[in-house]
Amino acid sequence: MNDKKFSFAVMAIFASLTFAVAAFNFWIDPLWHYGHAHGLNDVQIVADEREQKTAQQLYDPTDADTLLLGSSRSTYVQPSGFEKWTVYNYAVANLSMREYYTMLLYAFDQHPDYERVLIGVDFFKSSEEQAKDARAITGYETKVHEPFYRAKNLLSFDTFGFAVDNLKLSAADDITADRLYNRQGDAFAKKLTAEETKRDTAAKITRFENTFYGDHYVYYSRYKEIMQKVHDTHPEAEKIVYTTPISTELFKSMVGTGLLDEYEMWLRDLVAVYGGVWNFMYPNDVTNDILNYYDGHHFYPEIGKLISERLEQGEHAEVPEDFGVWVTEDNIEEHLAMVRKLAAELE
């Protein structure tokens, strides 16, 4: 074979491989750029949640009437769990409360017709340490708007690796990680045994006590101010705030490290800003059962379904009666007295 034919053969092979990689990446769509669904891409790993969901809103626009913001806990509040509302879940791992504002702006830029915003809030994220640094989604917004962004990802071998993983998981139809998605935006988690749950909960409590609770926690002085900014953004949309329910074991740890006063301050500020808050974070029939969580910190999607029912249907929801209280200025003193009584019973 002469040099010209050899070069042509090499180029043809390279072009064929490049096309095959791009076609496979498009078919599986692991970065959520195109929206098509089939039996071999219906289980999707988390590559970069912020980037995936930010790109998805740009390139595969939603027709949802409800936006959901929150941390990894709120990823398990599945869109399919709502009966009347069509929800886009923009919750991401390790969310800072400083990110709500820019995520809200970005989501409305892509889809101005949201009628309401559900905002999941986590107590431990209200600390000075967790909230003092400015955080925004703008870096991801810039990235997904870059020229040829989707084309470059189609040709990426990193994307190819994600696609291969998704193909294997979809073919097996198996949930093997703590967060996997389907093509409808529902997150799923691997079910742990009772022994695994006990072990992981103990480890998580130790981490919270060594990192987030006790002396590591100081209530963020600008929390109320920043939440007011979120409240006032796109005032035409109803804002519904809910606290994420941690296990009673982790709640006991919070109380034991002396943070009940700060917890009350946090709830008071949320009520003052939003007029009311759905509080799920206190001992109740759901949080008392450690098997409703895979680490005492993240609840399973079945619990997310209960949250969605309570948010959507209020007191008419068919959920455990003591799971979720709508707290306002009118009943906050009574509610906090109940929580203090329950906390005292944990000692």
Is beta strand 187-188 parallel, antiparallel or unpaired with respect to 116-121?
unpaired
pLDDT in tens, 38-67: 999 999 999 999 999 999 999 999 999 999
CA 297 → CA 11, 73, 200, 203, 294, distances in Å? 53, 8, 10, 11, 7
User: Tokens standing for 101?
Assistant: 């504002």
So what's the pLDDT on residue 262? Answer: 98
So what's the pLDDT on residue 1? Answer: 53
Q: Angle at CA 89, nearest 5°, toward 184 and 201? A: 100
So what's the pLDDT on residue 174? Answer: 86
- Overall residue count recorded for the chain in this entry: 347
Kindly report each contact of residues 9-12 with a partner whose C-beta sits within 8 Å and lies 24 or more positions away, as own/partner. Answer: none
What is the Cα–Cα distance from 121 to 309, expressed in whole angstroms?
17
So what's the pLDDT on residue 12? Answer: 64
pLDDT in tens, 77-108: 999 999 999 999 999 999 999 999 999 999 99
Place of tokens 């060594």: 210
Strand order in the sheet with 238-243: 87-89, 66-69, 116-121, 238-243, 276-279, 325-328
What is the Cα–Cα distance from 275 to 327, expressed in whole angstroms?
9
What is the Cα–Cα distance from 104 to 141, expressed in whole angstroms?
12
Amino acid at 154: L
Cα 255 to chain centroid, rounded: 25
The residues of the chain scoring below 50 in pLDDT are none
